[in-house]
């Protein structure tokens, strides 16, 4: 929710205050530094001492990021890492993330894991790197990507493509009237573009631009599946939220009531779209394609609310990040990107009720073995 940049906000989540052995967590209305549990600097990596690592999230109101916190804490306990967790007060809150970065530098942490809320954090991350901290971006590469030493993320273009391929196959040659429920319409972020473009590419539609959404031809032929005609009914921003998804879908239905395919940037946007469709009495005639892979989202696939959901593994991103910094601080080698890509790909798969057109899918129950949230 994937997502979400002030890139992905979402359903009601929960704030947690917890401590595990060797792990110190700081959550609250503002970000403050948290030292190690024994009150001393936790950055020592020699002689098996604790390694200081900061996990800085967009928010902790999104189950996606809560799952990162949970798995990072578990890995930190295994790796003898003193973990400090901080988060923005709201999606897009860069100032509190900057404070957390500066606190990590002051503590002498060995590394930072971050899901950035925007480019305003770049200068602070550069200060951290100059101070010797290893910076790993999670979920989405910063802009520019070089602000982080490496990014651990889903291949968002591939996730969108899996949805698009399934949508084309499900149409079975019928005309497609498509609503594109994006993240923003007032800023450019990679997750937004990659998922949007991936969906269109999976459908067999040229996105028309490598750097912007909404540049595809608004009508023409899609070549995925058996192929057919298509119309782009709308591009609407959702902010990756349920309310935003509902408003976006309402606007799209006003523009074209014949929509039969909905691309949603994430599950909350898809859930909001479903609510709008249900209110309009159209939910049975429209297929919604989402990206996230939460346990709740997979239940929506089972119920038919979503036609398919491209799954991702946020907890895996955070756990790998903690382990990488711990190993590096103790003399190990730097982590490397996936062959042929500019980031470390933590994987994606498509969850759907049945296979279509020879596409490989997981059943919702299969995908649930690695889902996140509740």
Over residues 129-152, the pLDDT tens digits come to 999 999 999 998 998 999 999 999
- Of 9-13, 183-187, 237-241, the least confident: 9-13
Domains and CATH numbers, the chain: 46-154+314-336 (3.40.50.2300), 156-311+348-370 (3.40.50.2300)
Q: Write out the DSSP string of 10-42.
A: -S--------BTTB----SSS------TTSS--
Confidence of residue 84 (pLDDT cuts 50, 70, 90): very high
Task: Bin 83: left if φ > 0, else alpha if -120 < ψ < 50, else beta.
Answer: beta
pLDDT for residue 323: 98
Q: What is the mean pLDDT of the chain?
A: 89
Has residue 44 got a pLDDT over 60? no
Has residue 112 got a pLDDT over 70? yes
Has residue 16 got a pLDDT over 70? no
pLDDT for residue 306: 98
The three-state secondary structure class of 329 is helix
Confidence of residue 186 (pLDDT cuts 50, 70, 90): confident
Tokens of residue 314, six digits: 């946020």
pLDDT for residue 109: 98
Has residue 128 got a pLDDT over 50? yes
Which position has the higher pLDDT, 141 or 128? 128
How far apart, in whole angstroms, are the C-alpha atoms of residue 136 and residue 68?
13
The DSSP H or E segment spanning 182 is: strand 176-182
């Amino acid at each position: 929710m994937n997502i979400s940049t002030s890139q992905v906000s979402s359903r009601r989540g929960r704030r947690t205050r917890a401590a595990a052995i060797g792990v110190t967590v700081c959550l609250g209305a503002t970000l403050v530094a948290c030292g190690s549990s024994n009150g001393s600097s936790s950055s020592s990596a020699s002689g098996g001492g604790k390694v200081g690592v900061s996990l800085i999230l967009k928010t902790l109101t999104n189950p996606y990021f809560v799952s990162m916190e949970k798995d990072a804490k578990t890995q930190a306990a295994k790796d003898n890492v003193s973990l400090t967790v901080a988060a923005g007060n709201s999606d897009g809150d860069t100032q509190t993330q900057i404070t957390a970065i500066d606190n990590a530098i002051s503590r002498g942490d060995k590394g930072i894991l971050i899901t950035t809320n925007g480019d305003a954090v770049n200068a602070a991350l550069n200060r951290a790197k100059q101070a010797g901290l290893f910076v790993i971006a999670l979920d989405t590469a910063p802009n520019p990507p070089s602000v982080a030493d490496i990014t651990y993320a889903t291949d968002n273009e591939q996730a969108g493509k899996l949805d698009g391929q399934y949508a084309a196959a499900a149409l079975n040659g019928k005309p497609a009237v498509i609503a594109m429920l994006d993240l923003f319409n007032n800023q450019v972020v990679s997750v937004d573009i990659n998922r949007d473009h991936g969906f269109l590419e999976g459908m067999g539609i040229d996105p028309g631009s490598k750097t912007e959404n909404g540049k595809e031809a608004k009508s023409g032929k899609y070549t995925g599946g058996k192929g057919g005609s298509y119309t782009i009914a709308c591009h609407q921003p959702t902010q990756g939220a349920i309310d935003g998804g509902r408003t976006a879908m309402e606007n799209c239905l006003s523009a074209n009531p014949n929509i039969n395919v909905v691309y949603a940037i994430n599950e909350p946007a898809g859930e909001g779209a479903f609510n709008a469709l249900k209110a309009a009495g159209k939910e049975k005639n429209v297929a919604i394609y989402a990206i996230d892979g939460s346990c709740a989202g997979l239940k929506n696939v089972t119920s038919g609310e979503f036609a398919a959901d491209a799954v991702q593994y946020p907890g895996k991103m955070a756990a790998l990040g903690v382990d990488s910094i711990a190993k590096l601080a103790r003399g190990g080698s730097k982590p490397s990107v996936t062959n042929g890509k500019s980031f470390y790909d933590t994987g994606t798969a498509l969850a759907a009720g049945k296979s279509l057109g020879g596409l490989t899918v997981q059943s919702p129950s299969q995908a649930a073995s690695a889902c996140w949230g509740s």
